[in-house]
Amino acid sequence: MSSPATPRPNQPWLPKLVLAPSFLLSFLFIYGLIAWNGYLSLSASRLLPNYEFVGVEQYVNLFDSERWWVALTNLGIFGTLFIGCGMALGLFLAILLDQKIRAEGALRTIYLYPMALSFIVTGTAWKWILNPGLGIENVVRQWGFENFTFDWLINPERAIYTVVIAGVWQSSGFVMALFLAGLRGIDDSIIKAAQVDGASLPRIYWRIIIPSLRPVFFSTLLVLAHIAIKSFDLVIALTNGGPGFATDVPATFMYSMAFSRGQIGLGAASATVMLATIAAIVVPYLYSELRTKR
């Protein structure tokens, strides 16, 4: 008889050894570059990195810049409308599909399809649609309404709203999927009990179902706020920050300062402010989640 196989010695170090290169590279290229960017924001860097320490001078210059305040204002407008309209439209679509209507699968796919596109494709498509010489204005005028105008794309005061339109169009399907998952997780017996008590369907949704979706609302708000703060490719593809810098947001401001105008220190300062803003949103959420699990 052959002797039984001897158990292999325990090697707890082997998984750590396998994962160590990936961990070290991730730590270097993520946290290392974040730290480098933070130091550049405190340096005298201009066209090339300059490690002469100047303290908070770049941040003073940043908040003295009129263009930076325009970018912040645009981010406020875009973020508020993007999050508000995206959540409202997504919730409406989710409630519509929750009625188990016919062709639900096809409609769900249609609503979700824009999220499969990149923001570059979305921005390019809406740039054609909103172009006064090619899109909506041209089509309506060909129908006989020769005085119709829709020149938001080239209007400095309204161009930021074209970015909102394109962003909401792309994100509303994703928001719908989140809310629909939340709606399908609610016990049907609650709805049936409310109907037995004589409550109408709109009242059931308003008083019972929507308040129970608070975790979904919070998660959706977090995701959309993150997308809004780091929005770059959509603005570049749709308006390129123009007309002038009327649709500048912090992400495009940072890119322009660091790579187009030779102001690396100023661009690094704006990137650090963006990182701090995102951290102010994400860290409390992670803390609350970990605290809840404990």
pLDDT-derived band at 78 (thresholds 50, 70, 90) equals very high
3-class SS at 43?
A: strand
Give the burial string for 15-42 (b: 16+ CB within 10 Å, else e). Answer: eeeeeeeeeeeeeeeeeeeeeebbebbb
Give the position of tokens 């490719």. 233
Average pLDDT over residues 77-106: 89
Phi-psi region of 50 (alpha: psi -120 to 50; beta: other; left: phi over 0): beta
User: What phi, psi does 221 have (nearest 5°)?
Assistant: -60, -40
> How many Å apart are CA 219 and CA 286, to the nearest integer?
11
Structural domains for the chain: 67-293 (1.10.3720.10)
Phi-psi region of 45 (alpha: psi -120 to 50; beta: other; left: phi over 0): beta
pLDDT, tens digit (0-9, with 9 covering 90-100), for 110-134: 888 888 888 899 999 999 999 888 8
Q: Facing residues of 43 across strands? A: 53
Average pLDDT over residues 234-251: 91
Output the pTM of the full model.
0.85
pLDDT-derived band at 27 (thresholds 50, 70, 90) equals confident
> How many Å apart are CA 70 and CA 43, to the nearest integer?
24
Contact predicate 249/71, CB 8 Å: yes
Among the listed residues 208, 232, 283, 247, the one whose alpha carbon sits nearest the alpha carbon of residue 122: 232
Contact predicate 97/182, CB 8 Å: no
User: What phi, psi does 43 have (nearest 5°)?
Assistant: -110, 180
pLDDT, tens digit (0-9, with 9 covering 90-100), for 147-184: 888 889 989 999 999 999 999 999 999 999 999 988 88
Cβ atoms < 10 Å from Cβ of 115: 15
